[in-house]
Structure 1
Amino acid sequence: MTGPRTVRGRLPLVVALAALVTVFTATVPLLRDFFDLRVYYGTVHTWVRHGGRIYDYRVPGTPYGFTYPPFAALALLPLAPMTRTCAIAASLAVNLAALAVVLRILAGPGWRRHGWYRWSLALCGLALFEPLRDTVSFGQVNLLLLALVLGDCRLLATGRDRWAGAGIGLAAAVKLTPALFIGLLLLARRGRAAAVAAGVAVAATGLAAWADPGASRFYWTRALWDTGRVGRLDYVSNQSLQGVLARLGEPDRALWAALALLVLCGWAVRARRAVAAGDWTAAFALTGAAACLVSPVTWVHHLVWLLPCFAVLVRAGRRWLAGTLYAVMCTSVVWLWVDGAPGWDGFLGSNAYTWITLGLLLGLPAGQPPVPRPPLARSASATAPAASPVRPTTVAARDHSALSSGAGAVAAATGAEVEEEDREPARSPSSDPTGSTCPAAAKPQSSSARASSYTASPPPS
């Protein structure tokens, strides 16, 4: 990709692009007014400061309240002494820190060689990713959970796996979807890590039961099984298999269970192959995609779990495919059918993110070596002797850590030039509607008159 090659030329371009992205994200997507954070904040304050019950709280003017396991409320206790403004600032800080961790892990050990220019372009691109911008706008916890899970991925890939599984366990105690990663550890025959993950999840759940026995009893016996507390399954934001069936008017749970089982079988085969090849990043990426598909409710902002999939595509040299799929998920295209999805165009378009997730699960390159970067030109005095014809120079067939995946896979997707001082020779080396661009229907959940991440339909006026 041609472009400015000097700091003087690059800096104005980055500033202009950042300004355009800022204006776009502040005006075009329909903002969420930190609605989910308001749920967390109100729940904790009601519980701790007013003696109320966790699952009785409702955001004023709406029927929507807390839907996570009780340990999530315990983990959100730091919100109790904060004002709402401080809580919003804390949410932004935590999400930005979690995003930095996610990008650092996905980029691998060679992340520095991509330089400030490429990373700046990558961050501008990430700001447009609908699941990511909605996670921030809702004040959601998806990025933090993804960072916890990918931390275990890094530990496993680098062989420092004494405490591997702890992040997965904590994430599973906050939300149930990450529990599928415990299944990945079992598939990979990492019994110790699976035991750590299960142990941490059980311990966290037990701690919550000790702190509030009534809330735990209510959640595990009633709230967990009541999908109506979360929202209408047929709402367009639900980009799971269950959401597809619900929009087709097919409420049969047996059919959904059969499709979910089929998806899990395909995931198990592909994830096990990835682990056998030492490709932990691809294994975790496949697991995130499968979890989004089989969960009864996968709101659009939950799809931040797909970020590792895009990193794997870039690592495998499929940048055009990664860029195309990523661009579709920046468009809010599913919201064109927010009021209904009749006909074949509605069936295909309203479920676009589900098809992307399914395609990634079935076609993601797994267990493949990263595509080597082309060698850089050198002076004659610095050029190494040519490899002999009998034993030519080769690229390592396997990336042991699976995290040096094209060194800066997310940043590399921009196709920008690497800074001159960072260049090196070639070597072997991721709730409810989100920020939509469609006109907003009147909803009471936020000051922007948009639905929350827990519902599909407004309460009766």
Structure 2
Amino acid sequence: MTGPSRSGRTRARLERLGPRTGRGRLLLVLLVAAAVTAFTATVPLLRGFFDLRVYYGTVHTWAHHGGRIYDYRVPGTVYGFTYPPFAAVAMLPLALLGRAAAIAVSLLVNLAALAAVLRILAGPGRWRHGWYRWALCLCLLALYEPLRDTFSFGQVNVVLLALVLVDCLLLTTGRGRWAGAGTGLAAAVKLTPVLFIGLMLLAGRRRAAAVATAVAAAATALAAWADPAASRFYWTEALWDTGRVGRLDYVSNQSLQGVLARLGETGRPWWASAVLLTLCVWAWRARRAVAAGDWPAAFALTGTAACLVSPITWVHHLVWLLPSFAVLVRAGHPRIAGALYAVLCTSVVWLWAGDAAGLDGFLGANAYVWVSLGLLFGLPTGQGRGARPPLARSASATAPAPSPVSPATTTAGDQPGSSSEAGAPAAATGAADGSVREGGRSPSSEPTGSTCPAAAKPQSSSARASSYTVNPPSA
């Protein structure tokens, strides 16, 4: 049975489940929106734009007071800037803004990036879903914990996801001349997207990989020119000291390293072995997806694998799982997508924020890791031959259409446009804008805290300052 027929039947079932009149649909949307608003205002703790405070204070101290990037600490905390130096260069416009304006810009940029992500994941037929499905989709997006945290922290994850997905769209539609530029920029800001360059090499897209590498190298060189001392410190010391970022065993760390640390196993051999096995599975599955022309699935698998192998994957980093849910819905598995998505909306891992011991702690405190592993092993691939989006179809219009008797056997390397729909109905893709509103709750005192109060300084890092200064400047 082909992918399009499953997707069509899925949409038909969803239509039958809901109200059929415009008034009934409007009433349902209003009720769901009210429930989501009540949830986001009362259940999750707001984060007080903590990460944005780090970015803002770092850039202002660096630009206006002669301070150094990696010496700044948010007043009253041990938390400072942890990204590569180019991230600080990219955030320099914050030096021109006041705090309120910086918050407003952060929200607008994240909303624009989220709109781009949804547009790419939904594909060229996005308007067929209508206002009703999109309204329900936005309500579901507001529940997704990683996206709630991204907005409320003032994080940059959605922006990086949008940059990488642009490359996915270019490769999917056969317009790969500039593919890789978005990934290169994203990798210069944060190291997680580097694995997408590996995907391009794995798929034989050497030009895209070269573009990504060149862009990342140029951005890194620009940062080194702007602040040689900060660059030297980051690449020789800070990068290798995970203790600067936070405690590995803190429950917000939903990576393989986090699982091992909560088990009390902090030795590198165990983690290295787990990472190697994960990368082998990723390479095998991603290569099969690319061979089938299914770039969306390949990118989804890569985002999932990157979250697993990273030493620290805070909950808000899991926005990289959004493409996987779109692939599941596209492949005709909305119930599986809904079940896994619901787990990531519950904040369930925080029930074990204080104590992750025992079997229940092993299962519950690592729940998001189990979701990531399930997606890595079970995400459907090879949906590209059944139905191409219009853009992909036009890119390969000169190729003969495969017949039902003799399906096409052209590899992805020969026909870059032969891929699956660049996304899926966005109804299962992820989270919204309500996570940043004031709801009467005080912000969490911990940057990565969530529904449950955390222990004192659960993410505390090494107290030592940078090696090239003793007294960091104040904000």
TM-score (norm 1): 0.85
Out of 362, 366, 386, the position equivalent to 1:347 is 362
| Gap change, CA 1:289 and 1:174, over 3 Å in 2 | same
The equivalences for 1:147-162 within 5 A come to: 147-162=162-177
Give yes or no for the alignment of 1:99 onto 2:114. yes
**How many Å apart are 1:395 and its aligned residue?**
11
Contact 2:293 2:384 in 1 (8 A): no
Distance 1:216 1:3 in 2: 55
Distance 2:407 2:100 in 1: 52
- Deviating beyond 4 angstroms after TM superposition, the runs of 4 or more aligned structure 1 residues are 369-372, 391-399, 432-435, 456-459
Out of 183, 196, 201, the position equivalent to 2:216 is 201
Out of 238, 251, 257, the position equivalent to 2:253 is 238
Contact 1:332 1:435 in 2 (8 A): no
Distance 2:58 2:447 in 1: 21
**How many Å apart are 1:174 and its aligned residue?**
0.1
Provide Cα deviations, 1:172-225, integer angstroms capped at 9, x if missing partner: 000011000000000000010000000000000000000010110110111111
Give yes or no for the alignment of 1:437 onto 2:451. yes
Distance 1:457 1:202 in 2: 29
Give yes or no for the alignment of 1:144 onto 2:159. yes
SS in 1 for 2:193: helix
The equivalences for 1:248-267 within 5 A come to: 248-267=263-282
One-letter amino acid of the counterpart of residue 66, structure 2: G
The equivalences for 1:32-111 within 5 A come to: 32-111=47-126
**How many Å apart are 1:458 and its aligned residue?**
12
Provide Cα deviations, 1:358-413, integer angstroms capped at 9, x if missing partner: 110011101135888xxxxxxxxxxxxxxxxxx989999999342344xx422268
| Gap change, CA 1:211 and 1:327, over 3 Å in 2 | same
**How many Å apart are 1:436 and its aligned residue?**
3.1
Contact 1:99 1:147 in 2 (8 A): yes
SS in 1 for 2:252: coil
One-letter amino acid of the counterpart of residue 403, structure 1: E
SS in 1 for 2:96: coil
Contact 1:236 1:433 in 2 (8 A): no
| Gap change, CA 1:167 and 1:142, over 3 Å in 2 | same
The equivalences for 1:214-233 within 5 A come to: 214-233=229-248
Distance 1:278 1:256 in 2: 32
**How many Å apart are 1:340 and its aligned residue?**
1.3
Distance 1:66 1:285 in 2: 28
One-letter amino acid of the counterpart of residue 427, structure 2: A
Distance 1:266 1:98 in 2: 30
**How many Å apart are 1:7 and its aligned residue?**
2.3
Extract unaligned runs of 5+ from structure 2: 1-15, 388-402, 411-416, 431-445, 464-475
SS in 2 for 1:239: coil
The RMSD of aligned alpha carbons is 2.4
SS in 2 for 1:30: coil
SS in 2 for 1:33: coil
Contact 1:319 1:413 in 2 (8 A): no
Out of 425, 432, 445, the position equivalent to 1:409 is 425
Give the length in aligned residue pairs.
412
Distance 1:106 1:361 in 2: 18
Give yes or no for the alignment of 1:400 onto 2:418. yes
Distance 2:461 2:227 in 1: 31
Extract unaligned runs of 5+ from structure 1: 373-390, 415-431, 445-450
The equivalences for 1:217-366 within 5 A come to: 217-366=232-381
SS in 2 for 1:80: helix
Distance 1:177 1:436 in 2: 23
**How many Å apart are 1:226 and its aligned residue?**
1.0
Provide Cα deviations, 1:329-369, integer angstroms capped at 9, x if missing partner: 10001011001111111111110100110110011101135
**How many Å apart are 1:4 and its aligned residue?**
2.2
| Gap change, CA 1:370 and 1:19, over 3 Å in 2 | farther
Distance 2:179 2:193 in 1: 14
Give yes or no for the alignment of 1:5 onto 2:20. yes
| Percent identity over paired residues | 74
SS in 2 for 1:246: helix
**How many Å apart are 1:443 and its aligned residue?**
5.4
